[in-house]
Structure formats: structure tokens, C-alpha cells
Amino acid sequence: MNIDGETITLNSGVSIGTDTNKAGNVTLDADAAFSGAGIISDETRAARVSIEGAIKASGDVTITADALAQASQNTYVVGLAGFDMTADADVTVGDSAVIEGSTIEISASATADIDVSAEFAVAAIADSDATATADVTVSDGASIVAGSGDLDGSEAGNQSLSISADAEADVDVVLTTPEDYIAEATAGLPLTDIRGIDGTTNTLNGFNLFVSLIDAERTANVTLGDAASGTVTISSGGEAAFAAETRGDLTNIARSETVGVATTEIIRDDAVVSFLGCRCRCDGNHRDRR
């Protein structure tokens, strides 16, 4: 069974499969994406899966939320770009949820990506905000039971349970002058072949105004349980892996002959796996990665 959409909800009292008539492979895939090009854009994409009911499968159970917010601009001479991209991916396993399968994979992945370039430019302003948030939350009372299936195939060991969150904020801004463009285009040519009408290689007398401001925020959380009392039950017949990861490259180049401003601020960069209230039993190894 495959269920797709931006938001997927399995309500309390609803069951995919039963104890006596289990489903085969079950996939819940929430996917929300934006990808565009322009001058100014403020976009938020959210992918959410909420499970309060039951999934009882004999095969693989895959629950994913993937959010992408992506914008780009490539311009010449004069550039203006204002992008605010927000990607939010969330998987919530509620307090009445039961998930059973030969293997179980639960993941949230959020990507905010901005790419701005201005070539042969005399003036350019770029204001780029990228926010990526990925959360997997398993509430007190939930039960997740994986069998002895193998998620990672040829990899060493027998991993049957994976719960992960991944947040990527990637911003690439490059603002360059006509002089840079000419220098690259005429590399290796005799100087006499590339002089301007004023007898120099500076076609615009060196005046440029570039401003690039980058704010980036990336947060990945895997939270198991709500309180230290611990009523979340997690069991795996093989290895279990819990991971939260943030990543992304931030490139900010404003190469000007006169006025150039480039600032980069990482507002938040957090990756946390929290065992706040969880009874875990794994017949294989237990790994958490942050």
C-alpha cells in the first residue's frame, strides 16, 4: 500500500492491517516542493505525516516527510534578488499509535536551497534567507515494533529500524564584476587585444556596488518520549539506528572594486536525538548519530 500527499493523517481507531490479516509493504510519503526562478520570492513548503492509528504489516513500513523550497536567479549588469525559502518536514507518531513491520523506516527531510549569481555586474543586491526544519516526534504511549528484516541490504549488520531527521540549508551567492568576467574570458590573450577605449583593461573605471546578506537556519530533531517516566515502546529484531543531521554549504562572494558587503549569519544549527522517555529493546546494536 502506498499513500502520497503533502499531508498524511492516520486517525486514531484507523488501522492499516490487523493482527490476523497484516498488510504487506506500507509506504506513507508526504512530499511538498517548490522550485522557482525570479527576483523576489517568499515560499514555505511543509510536508507532514501524523499517525494516531495503527499500521500492522508483514513487510516493510516506510514513513517519510520530504520538504523542498528552492529558488535561483542568474542575471547580468544589474541584479536584485530577495529570497526567503522555508522547508518544514514533520513526522509525528501519536500516543495511541502502533507501528509493526519486518522493517520500519521513519524519516523527515527538509531542504532550503538558494542560488544567486550576477555576472558582468555593476550593481547587485541579494538578500537570502534559508530555513530548514526536520522533526520526528514519538509521543508517550506509542509502540514501534520492527522484526528482523534488513534495511541496509549489503551493509554490515542487520538494521531493521531507522528513525532519522535531516535538515539542509544551502545558499550560493556569487556577485562578480565586468573586470572578473573579462579576465576569465580573455585569459591567455595578449594585453593589447583586451584594452578598452581608454587604453586600460578597466571598462567601467572600477565602480561596483555589491551587497549580499545571508541568514541560514537548520534544525533536525528526533524526540522519543515526552517525559522521563518513559512510556514509549520501541523494539527491534535487528539493529536500530537513530540519527539527526544538519548540513549545507554557504557561499557568499561579493567581489567589488569599490563597495562590497557580504555578511553570513547562521542563526541556528542544531541536530539533536533525545531519549526523554523510551523503553528500547534491540536484538542487534543500537546506534544514535547527531
pLDDT tens digits, 205-258: 556 789 999 999 999 999 998 765 667 888 888 888 999 999 999 999 888 778
- The predicted-structure confidence for 170-204, as pLDDT tens digits, reads as follows 999 998 877 666 666 666 555 444 444 444 444 44
Q: What is the pTM assigned to this prediction?
A: 0.86
35 or 202: which carries more pLDDT confidence?
Answer: 35
- On whether the CB atoms of residues 255 and 176 are closer than 8 A, the answer is yes
Of the given ranges (42-51, 162-171, 200-209), which has the lowest mean pLDDT? 200-209
Confidence of residue 70 (pLDDT cuts 50, 70, 90): very high
Give the closest residue to 153 by CA, choosing from 28, 73, 239, 217. 239
How many other β-carbons are positioned within 10 Å of the β-carbon of residue 209?
18
Determine the pLDDT at residue 199.
44
How many other β-carbons are positioned within 10 Å of the β-carbon of residue 261?
12
Determine the pLDDT at residue 145.
94
Determine the pLDDT at residue 283.
59
Determine the pLDDT at residue 182.
64
- Coil vs helix vs strand at 217: strand
Determine the pLDDT at residue 280.
67
- What's the gap between Cα 144 and its chain centre? 25
Taking all residues of the chain, what is their mean pLDDT, rounded to a whole number? Answer: 86
- Whether 72 has a pLDDT exceeding 90, the answer reads yes
**42/83 Cα distance (integer angstroms):** 6
- The predicted-structure confidence for 96-123, as pLDDT tens digits, reads as follows 999 999 999 999 999 999 999 988 788 8
- Whether 35 has a pLDDT exceeding 80, the answer reads yes
Catalogue the E-assigned strands of the chain: 2-5, 7-10, 15-16, 26-37, 40-51, 54-56, 60-93, 98-101, 103-138, 143-146, 159-175, 209-224, 232-236, 239-247, 250-254, 259-275, 278-282, 286-289
- The predicted-structure confidence for 5-18, as pLDDT tens digits, reads as follows 999 999 999 999 99
287 or 71: which carries more pLDDT confidence?
Answer: 71
* Alpha helices by DSSP H, the chain: 178-185
